[in-house]
Amino acid sequence: MVTPSPRLAVTVGQYSTAGAKEANQDFHGLLVPEGEALATKGIALALADGISTSALGAAAAETAVKSFLMDYYATSEAWSVRTSAERVITATNSWMHAQNLRGRGSNLTDEERERGMVCTLSTLVIKSRSAYVFHVGDGRIARIAGRTLEPLTEPHRVYLGGGESYLARALGIDRRVEIDHRKIPVAEGDLFVLTSDGVHDVLPDSAFLVAAGSEDLDSAARALADAALAAGSTDNLTIQLLRIDSLPQNDLDDLVGEEATLPPALQLTGGQAFEGYAIQRELHAGHRSHVYLARDSETGQRVAIKVPSTEHGADPVEVRRLMLEEWIARRVNNTHVLKAPPARASRQHAYSVTEFVEGATLEQWAASREVTDLVALRSIVKQVASGLHALHRLEILHRDLRPANVIVDGEGTARIIDFGSALVAGLDELAPRDDDMFAGTMQFTAPEIWLGAPASRKSDLWSLGSVAYYMLTRSLPYGPHLSAVRTRAAQKKLHYIPATELNPDVPDWMDAAIARAVAIDPEERYDELSEFTYDLAHPNTALTGPAPRPWLARRPERLWQTISALLAIALAVSLATRESGGGTEQKVSPSRLEETAR
């Protein structure tokens, strides 16, 4: 019997009241999703406080909270919490600011700001084993662990003295908003406290520590509001309490659900029926996986089925990552990225299914070209860059881009395949991967990875530049031993091998673009994929082409040829000299020897 993995579970209590004021301009909310979203997005709380001098303060607070809770869960599961939250909050601020500017020109006076849609916002997301805090204004988020209360935010107020202050940062005030963010590890039993300033400004920490010991958090939240009112608070009072009851194990079980416990599919054979698919033939056999061409028995669609190799079939981590390849393929909508068909009914084994693309790998495509076709090369590189851009927009790094992982079909359409090494920011928050150094193929992995640096968009760009170089030269930009150079000082001694040395059909300006894409220092590379693809097709006079290498570096074989020739000449001279000396040597006849003896 398989014991289910622990999941993220919390207990929550909330309470809000106008307090001593006539109207309550605070607003708060909570969303606890079910299923996969609980793992990929986590649990979110939000608390907003509308500016009391504005009739639109309450509307602003409600808009901020509802927008965050609805739009955060509408962002891609592949995005990190920070990317999702900050984009949602930024968009809300932009909308509110635009509403405030309607009919008022491009700037707001202080008085108009106070009358407009302006509010504070404090949000908390609990995902996997971490808490993510996003904060604008003078609300507060604190954590109670044991008998210690730790504030996780600071009030964005400017104090003038004499008890006077004003709000320095809030949603709706300016076109841009600065958001404080923080990520902290959590433990079971931790209690998070979100409060509006009418509560924490008047209550001591001891009051919150007492509330932390309550089993009924709703009652505890109400008790805190009552205590704040009794302590003389003149503001609205809102409290949210969240206690961590259980945490997942920092793996991908919550994401793949019951399929994580399925036995891995065994190696298949042509003609075999397998879970609603008719296996036709094997497409690829590697040390990590086997790929088969199959036909969906229900729809007739041809698909590719990947199963773990025999040696990796018992490794649950490898099985989960194989299944996540399909998860990635289903979420990237781009012509140049391999797709996955719609999910089917529950499976009996662990495997991945993607569309089948009939064509040649870029490695095969390049080998079949006897003449350099710069137009076709630029087209393919641009298509692959489009696929990479689609991955990067979802915060996915491929990490193993190489000629064997790009398929070109009969119509010349290129598609990126094989996401076994891909790093997804949103999933890395569930189960962090630290395998950058071993993720990709050695020849096409960026040099900084071998120094222990994390993968980045620029390391994917380096791989794309190396692929372009390979297509032109069937070689590598720094030779075959780059991965063996493991110090920064040694890397700085490396020299780019100009593609023009190996292929005279390559224009110098095109070579310069590739050289920049594969620069050893990531800071010297292009910032955007589109910049690289543009310079591949348009001469960029701002780029300096790669410097010609010394003669011996360009033609090292000539050194050995010269040495060999010199040795051969020296040997010939030595032999000739010896033979010449032997011809003048005097010889004594036997009769002369006899005379000498007498």
527 in any annotated domain: yes
586 in any annotated domain: no
User: What are the C-alpha distances in Å from 463 to residues 160, 389, 468, 480, 519?
Assistant: 55, 13, 9, 14, 11
For residue 430, give the nearest of 245, 253, 262, 261 by alpha carbon.
253
Q: In degrees rounded to 5, what are phi and psi of residue 221?
A: -65, -45
Q: Using only C-alpha atoms, what is the Rg of the chain?
A: 34
In the chain, the number of structural domains is 3
Do residue 344 and residue 469 come from a single domain? no
Average pLDDT, the chain: 87
566 in any annotated domain: no
Do residue 323 and residue 395 come from a single domain? no
Q: Say if CB 260 and CB 320 are below 8 A apart.
A: yes
Token look-up 């609603």 returns 276
What does the pLDDT read at residue 276?
Answer: 92
Pick the last residue of a domain from 247, 270, 302: 247
- Enter the tokens of residue 569: 């000449």
Q: Say if CB 410 and CB 359 are below 8 A apart.
A: yes
Is the pLDDT assigned to residue 464 strictly greater than 50?
Answer: yes
- Enter the tokens of residue 437: 């150094």
Average pLDDT score over residue span 569-597: 59
- Enter the tokens of residue 157: 């107020």
Average pLDDT score over residue span 426-453: 79
Q: Say if CB 439 and CB 402 are below 8 A apart.
A: no
Do residue 62 and residue 180 come from a single domain? yes
Count how many Cα atoms sit within 13 Å of the Cα of residue 358 in the half-sphere of its side chain: 6
Condensed to tens digits (0 to 9), the pLDDT of residues 37-93 reads 998 999 999 999 998 777 789 999 999 999 999 999 999 999 999 999 999 999 999
Is the pLDDT assigned to residue 434 strictly greater than 70?
Answer: no
Q: List CB contacts of 438: < 8 A, sequence separation 6 or more.
A: none
Is the pLDDT assigned to residue 435 strictly greater than 80?
Answer: no
Q: Which residue has the higher pLDDT, 5 or 588?
A: 5
Tell how far CA 220 is from the center of its chain.
Answer: 41
452: left (phi over 0), alpha (psi -120 to 50) or beta: left
Do residue 378 and residue 263 come from a single domain? no
528 in any annotated domain: yes
Residue type for position 394: L
582 in any annotated domain: no
In this prediction, what percent of the chain has a pLDDT beyond 70? 86
16 in any annotated domain: yes
Please give the span between the terminal C-alpha atoms of the chain, in angstroms, as a whole number. Answer: 116
What does the pLDDT read at residue 1?
Answer: 36
Is the pLDDT assigned to residue 472 strictly greater than 70?
Answer: yes
For residue 128, what is the domain's CATH number?
A: 3.60.40.10
Pick the last residue of a domain from 355, 378, 403: 355
Average pLDDT score over residue span 323-342: 91
Is the pLDDT assigned to residue 419 strictly greater than 50?
Answer: yes
Q: Please name the residue ranges forming H helices in 214-258.
A: 217-230, 253-256
431 in any annotated domain: yes
Pick the last residue of a domain from 247, 273, 308: 247
For residue 401, what is the domain's CATH number?
A: 1.10.510.10
What does the pLDDT read at residue 493?
Answer: 87
What does the pLDDT read at residue 2?
Answer: 42
What does the pLDDT read at residue 433?
Answer: 67
Token look-up 């008085």 returns 111
Do residue 520 and residue 383 come from a single domain? yes
What does the pLDDT read at residue 253?
Answer: 57
Is the pLDDT assigned to residue 218 strictly greater than 50?
Answer: yes
Average pLDDT score over residue span 316-329: 81
Considering only 108-122, 369-383, 481-495, which range has the smallest mean pLDDT? 108-122
For residue 491, give the nearest of 524, 469, 467 by alpha carbon.
524
pLDDT band at 312 (very low <50, low <70, confident <90, very high): low
Q: How many CB atoms lie within 10 A of CB 505?
A: 12
7 in any annotated domain: no
What does the pLDDT read at residue 107?
Answer: 57
Do residue 373 and residue 315 come from a single domain? no
Considering only 94-103, 308-317, 381-390, 417-426, which range has the smallest mean pLDDT? 308-317
For residue 414, give the nearest of 445, 376, 371 by alpha carbon.
376
For residue 17, give the nearest of 203, 166, 234 by alpha carbon.
234
pLDDT band at 109 (very low <50, low <70, confident <90, very high): low
Q: Say if CB 227 and CB 205 are below 8 A apart.
A: no
What does the pLDDT read at residue 280?
Answer: 96
Token look-up 């589109």 returns 530
Alpha-carbon gap, residue 412 to 410, rounded angstroms: 6
Considering only 106-120, 199-213, 295-309, 344-358, which range has the smallest mean pLDDT? 106-120
Is the pLDDT assigned to residue 582 strictly greater than 60?
Answer: no
What does the pLDDT read at residue 219?
Answer: 96
Alpha-carbon gap, residue 362 to 376, rounded angstroms: 12
Q: Which residue has the higher pLDDT, 173 or 560?
A: 173
Alpha-carbon gap, residue 391 to 385, rounded angstroms: 10
Domain that holds residue 519: 359-551
Do residue 389 and residue 475 come from a single domain? yes
Question: Using the 8-state DSSP alphabet, how is residue 68 labeled?
Answer: H
Condensed to tens digits (0 to 9), the pLDDT of residues 513-548 reads 999 999 999 999 999 999 999 999 999 999 976 766
Is the pLDDT assigned to residue 494 strictly greater than 60?
Answer: yes
Q: Which residue has the higher pLDDT, 242 or 575?
A: 242
Q: Which residue has the higher pLDDT, 538 or 579?
A: 538
Q: How many CB atoms lie within 10 A of CB 442?
A: 15
Q: List residues bridging with 13 in a β-sheet.
A: 241
Q: List residues bridging with 499 in a β-sheet.
A: none
What does the pLDDT read at residue 104?
Answer: 59
Is the pLDDT assigned to residue 485 strictly greater than 90?
Answer: no
- Enter the tokens of residue 436: 């950058």
Do residue 330 and residue 303 come from a single domain? yes
Q: Please name the residue ranges forming H helices in 175-264.
A: 197-200, 205-212, 217-230, 253-256
Q: Please name the residue ranges forming H helices in 369-482.
A: 374-393, 425-428, 436-439, 457-473
pLDDT band at 554 (very low <50, low <70, confident <90, very high): low
Do residue 372 and residue 499 come from a single domain? yes
Is the pLDDT assigned to residue 357 strictly greater than 80?
Answer: yes
Size (the chain), residues: 598
Do residue 164 and residue 36 come from a single domain? yes
For residue 260, what is the domain's CATH number?
A: 3.30.200.20
In this prediction, what percent of the chain has a pLDDT beyond 90? 63
Do residue 425 and residue 288 come from a single domain? no
Considering only 102-116, 133-147, 570-584, which range has the smallest mean pLDDT? 102-116
Q: Is 263 exposed, middle or buried, given 0-12, 13-18 or 19+ CB atoms closer than 10 A?
A: exposed
Do residue 349 and residue 364 come from a single domain? no
